Amino acid sequence: MNSVLNFDALLAPPLFSQLLHGAQFTLMLFVACWILAVSLGILLAVLRISGWPFSERLVAIYVAYHQNVPMLAHLFLWYFGISTLLPAGLQDWTSNHGGEFIFATIAIGLYMAAYFSEDIRSGLRSVPGGQTEAARSLGMGFLASMRYVVLPQAINNAIPTFTNHTIVLFKNTSLAMALGAAEMTYAVREVENETFLTFETYIVATVFYLAISLILMAVGAAAARRVRLPAH
């Protein structure tokens, strides 16, 4: 058992760059998944309230499916399962162009889109009906009342859960390692296998995740504060 923690080895070039690449991969994956999840989440939420036939039912099924199946199962289904259904040319292309990243992004993005769309939906529901009535009574159309009265309040109310889910999304990127994606956790395990510095490497990873989570929480709290005091 080590009595002195040996971080120096980790700061040496080959290992350090491995860890750095892991961190970079994680952050890039996070950004890609987040963008996909938010865009799709907004689309789903809008679709749900659009009133088109079946849209409510279809979105409900999408959400129910994604929320009741664990992230790992989604990852495996996409990476090992659905990929085999693609035409051969596409399969080759993806395996040569970072298939792990692509399928991880799709799986995690689609999964979190379900949660984000529910956040938006409950945000909209949290705005009392009287607000819409008041806006419409003043002569504002549907779009104007959404834009100036309902959405600002809906977004404000949804920020706390939205922040929570963003952090969940960030943590979910770590599961991409199960596909062999070279994200942070994977890099840490590789380094640990080479150096046997289990404690040190795990501390590095833990600090990384905690730091980013903390930053995300702070950003969320700042956003909530800002929206509460509208600028004059």
DSSP 179: G
Q: How far is the CB of 136 from another protein (least distance, A)?
A: 6
- Cα dihedral sign, 66-69-72-75: negative
Question: Among 24, 49, 189, 224, which residue sits at the site for another protein (rule: CB under 8 A)?
Answer: 189
Binding mask 39-68 for another protein (x = CB under 8 A): -------------------------xx-xx
Residue 13 or 129 with smaller CB distance to another protein: 129
Residue 89 or 139 with smaller CB distance to another protein: 139
In the chain, alpha helices (H): 8-11, 13-50, 55-67, 71-76, 88-96, 99-125, 129-137, 142-145, 151-172, 184-195, 198-228
17 binds another protein (CB under 8 A): no
DSSP codes of every residue in 83-98: GGGS-HHHHHHHHHTT
187 binds another protein (CB under 8 A): no
Tokens 């290992």 — which residue?
A: 15
Counting residues that bind another protein (by CB under 8 A) gives 66
- Cα dihedral sign, 162-164-167-173: negative
122 binds another protein (CB under 8 A): yes
117 binds another protein (CB under 8 A): no
Q: How far is the CB of 69 from another protein (least distance, A)?
A: 5
DSSP codes of every residue in 45-101: HHHHHH--TTHHHHHHHHHHHHHSS-HHHHHHIIIIIGGGGS-HHHHHHHHHTTHHH
Residue 13 or 105 with smaller CB distance to another protein: 105
| Residue numbers at the binding site for another protein (CB under 8 A) | 1, 64-65, 67-74, 76-77, 80-82, 84-85, 115, 119, 122, 128, 130-131, 133-141, 144, 148-149, 152-153, 156, 160-161, 164-165, 167-168, 171-172, 174-175, 177-178, 185, 189, 192, 198-199, 202, 205-206, 209-210, 213-214, 227, 230, 232
